[in-house]
Amino acid sequence: QGGLTAKVSGNWSNPATWGGTMPKAGARVCIPTGINVTLDVDPPALTGLVIDGTFRFAARDTRLTAGWIMVHGLWEVGTPATPFQHRVFITLTGTKTNEN
């Protein structure tokens, strides 16, 4: 699968966030700088996830599966004002590399 970049801030489940095309299994997904995406569903297994913007977890139990995840932006699981009261299960399926 090819890459898919979030076009506007919004919920993962909203097709408009992705310019009308939702991420499918095997996709490489990018959240660019200046874009805020809230993960409000359990997405299909991804090849990879690049976070240059903001990636938030909605207040729900969530499962996220990806070959790899690279965070350059903000990875938010609750805040001091609204602590996260749920569970997040993250499964990394990629192979181990010696990349630095």
Q: CA-based Rg of the chain, rounded to a whole angstrom? A: 13
Say whether 41 sits in a helix, a strand or coil: coil
- The pLDDT tens digits for 31-58 are 999 999 999 999 999 999 999 999 999 9
pLDDT score of 98: 64
Pick from 43, 30, 37, 25: nearest CA to 4: 30
pLDDT score of 42: 98
How far is Cα 50 from Cα 31, in angstroms, rounded to an integer? Answer: 6
The continuous run of DSSP H or E covering 99 comes out as: none
pLDDT score of 62: 96
pLDDT score of 95: 82
